[in-house]
Amino acid sequence: MSYTATTSRSESTSAPIETTGHAATPHAYDAGLLLLRIAVGLTMAAHGAQKLFGSFGGGGLDGTAKFFTSKGYPAGEAMALVAGVTETFGGLALAIGLLTPLAGAAVVGTLLNALAVKGMGALFAPKGVEYELILTAAAATITLTGPGRYAVDRFVPVLRAHRLIYGLAAIVLAVLAAGAVLVVRT
């Protein structure tokens, strides 16, 4: 038996979903987005904590600043702080679904810089970029699709009903910001 599940915009941020038999319901998609947001968001927040505080075996601000300087970024200390704050707070916001397009853009922008620094010489570990690529794709996916109904954005009137244009604008912002940072890199 086939039917179309319809919901009003106030009930769901998802478009009507075609289902057949026991196929996924809109809540299943929202639960999947929640899991993806938590995994990507907390991973990025942990990377930010490595940069800011030296948590999880990270270099802290001093070690991260030296790394950025060695890779040609000007003002390594400032770049370490910006990267750490962006990853920590962008990741946490992504995990809870707060200002999701901007949180996703923050994650995508920092990951684009990570990809540029690491280079595209190899795809697979130990020197490959598959980890950064999958995190970038996941963050961009969340940015484009929206956070789903299990998110803080459901309480933000302008973001309650996620629109593709919000995600596209955020991705453009991420690419422009990452590009600007890479241009100043020597």
pLDDT tens for residues 42-85? 999 999 999 999 999 999 999 999 999 999 999 999 999 999 99
The one-character DSSP state at 19 is E
pTM of the predicted model as reported, rounded to 2 decimal places: 0.83
Which of these, 55, 26, 48, 57, lies nearest to 94 by C-alpha position? 48
To the nearest 10°, report the CA torsion of 60, 61, 66, 72: 120
- Give every residue of the chain whose pLDDT is below 50, as ranges: 1-15, 17-19
Distance between CA atoms of residues 126 and 128, nearest Å = 6
